[in-house]
Amino acid sequence: MSRQSNRTTDSKKMVGDSSRINNSELFTLTYGALVTQLCKDYENDEEVNKQLDKMGYNIGVRLIEDFLARSSIGRCQDFRETADVIAKVAFKMYLGITPSVTNWSPAGDEFSLILESNPLVDFVELPDNHSTLIYSNLLCGILRGALEMVQMAVDVRFVQDTLRGDNVTEIRMKFIKRIEENLPAGDE
Amino acid sequence: METRFTKGKSALLERPLTRPKTEVSVSAFALLFSEVVQYCQSRVYSVTELQARLAEMGQRVGASLLDVLVLREKNGKRETKVLNILLFIKVSVWRSLFGKEADKLEQANDDDKIYYIIEKESLVNTYISVPKENSTLNCAAFTGGIIEAILTHSGFPAKVTVHWHKGTTLMIKFDEAVIARDKALEGR
């Protein structure tokens, strides 16, 4: 008595392979739902920014392992190489975009990532009462967390944001110091 | 989108609705989703509440997704029959979200208000491990929320719940009025 329409595709191959890419809409909309929920829970934008940064940090800590496992990049020799790897390999692998690396400071410890398009903000518009919200702050946390796990302390900030009227999105990354602590127990 | 309606007030509304070209990796979505689950978990005290929160976030996603998909895939044509909307979900919605169709669509033997969508391995659950004490938790409640929003906003009020059965089963229960209306349409 039950009607059944059964169309199994090669779903096993699809899900088992973790480098499979899917359409960015689900990702964009999930991030949007998350930010909306955070805005409802925390009344002010500063709190939301901090929460996004914290969550990004947690993601970054795990993302770096996934990244190192899937790309066979070895150790970077200096900060310039790190910048190139982040822009050309990591962003491409996870978000499908390739930002450009510019505006190196004279000391070589600060640079900017310019993103022409940002998949996180595909359908997004910031209303007037949330003008201090840094919508993509998750990215800052991710970069900070991931680099901390490879012994680099960095400071990551948004300088320009398309949601707030600028032409491009610019993230400024500054190298603070090399972390010399012991690796956590269980490594090596 | 006609510019005479938006008059340049919102650049976002004037962008075309074509499929986004960037593709985001599965692991990016998995990491984001795990943060979403952790965040929801930190604010609730029970499994049912957690599932309710995930469903709520899914509903936000579904509401935004419906308009885009209907315009893109079906040229703005609205579904009026229950079976058609379910097939739309199984094929179009699933394909745009996960890159493949849902595994099975079934109708319950004894109750014509209930339909099941069955997936052996749901994308959202792939990287979520559920500890024994919360074994009833199924994060596909997020997907359930998406479906519920799509059905309700298309004029088919329904409730969607999620169960561990043959993989992941989404149980869709339509309101009485929907089935009665559908029967009347068929009778014509």
Asked whether the beta carbons of residue B24 and residue A94 sit closer than 8 angstroms, the reply is yes
A76-102 as b/e: b if 16+ CB within 10 A: eeebeebbebbbeebbebbbbbebebe
* In chain B, residues 26-55 whose CB comes closer than 8 Å to chain A: 26-29, 31-36, 38-39, 43
Residue of A13, A15, A63 to mutate for B, most B C-beta atoms under 10 A: A15
C-alpha to C-alpha distances, A107 to A100, A110, A157, A179, B103, nearest whole angstrom: 19, 8, 18, 19, 56
What is the pTM for the complete model shown?
0.83
Contact A51, A34 (CB under 8 A): no
Alpha helices in B18-167 (DSSP H): 26-42, 47-73, 82-88, 94-98, 141-153
Strands A169-178 and A100-102: unpaired
The structural domains of chain B, ordered by start, are: 26-187 (3.30.1380.20)
Cα separation, B21 vs B152, whole angstroms: 29
This model of the complex carries an ipTM of 0.84
Q: What is the pLDDT of residues B59-109, one digit of tens each?
A: 999 998 888 888 888 787 888 888 888 888 888 888 888 878 888 888 888
Collect contacts of A33-39 with beta carbons under 8 A, ≥24 apart: A33/B36, A33/B57, A33/B58, A33/B60, A33/B61, A34/B32, A34/B35, A34/B36, A34/B39, A34/B57, A35/A133, A35/A135, A36/B60, A37/B39, A37/B56, A37/B57, A37/B60, A38/B39, A39/A130, A39/A133
Instruction: Answer yes or no: is pLDDT of B188 > 70.
Output: no
Q: Give the pLDDT confidence score for residue B19 in this predicted structure.
A: 67
Residue that the structure tokens 């996870």 belong to: A94
Q: What is the pLDDT of residues A60-84, one digit of tens each?
A: 999 999 898 888 888 888 888 888 8
Nearest CA among A122, A171, A133, A146 for reference residue A36: A133
Asked whether the beta carbons of residue A18 and residue B27 sit closer than 8 angstroms, the reply is yes
Q: What is the pLDDT of residues B125-165, one digit of tens each?
A: 777 777 777 777 777 888 899 999 999 998 899 999 888 88
Residue type, B51: Q
Q: Give the pLDDT confidence score for residue A21 in this predicted structure.
A: 61
SS3 A60: helix
Q: Give the pLDDT confidence score for residue B6 in this predicted structure.
A: 54
Taking each helix axis from N to C end, the angle separating B26-42 and A24-41, rounded to the nearest 10 degrees, works out to 20
Torsion of CA B87, B92, B98, B101, to 10 degrees: 40
Q: Give the pLDDT confidence score for residue B67 in this predicted structure.
A: 85
A-chain residues within 8 Å CB-CB of B99? 14, 20, 22-23
Secondary structure (DSSP) of A5-19: EE---SHHHHHH-TT
Asked whether the beta carbons of residue A25 and residue B96 sit closer than 8 angstroms, the reply is yes
Asked whether the beta carbons of residue B31 and residue A59 sit closer than 8 angstroms, the reply is yes
Cα A36 vs. chain centroid, distance in angstroms?
A: 18
Q: Give the pLDDT confidence score for residue A18 in this predicted structure.
A: 47
**Range ranked top by mean pLDDT from A170-184, B2-16, B164-178:** B164-178
* In chain A, residues 99-128 whose CB comes closer than 8 Å to chain B: 117, 119, 122-125
Nearest CA among A99, A103, A106, A120 for reference residue A168: A99
Q: How confident is the model at residue B25 (pLDDT cuts 50, 70, 90)?
A: confident
Query: Mean pLDDT, 10 residues at a time, over chain A (188 residues)?
Result: 39 42 81 90 89 92 90 84 88 88 87 87 82 88 91 89 85 88 63
Taking each helix axis from N to C end, the angle separating A24-41 and A45-70, rounded to the nearest 10 degrees, works out to 150
* In chain B, residues 145-174 whose CB comes closer than 8 Å to chain A: none
The per-residue pLDDT of chain B, averaged, comes to 82
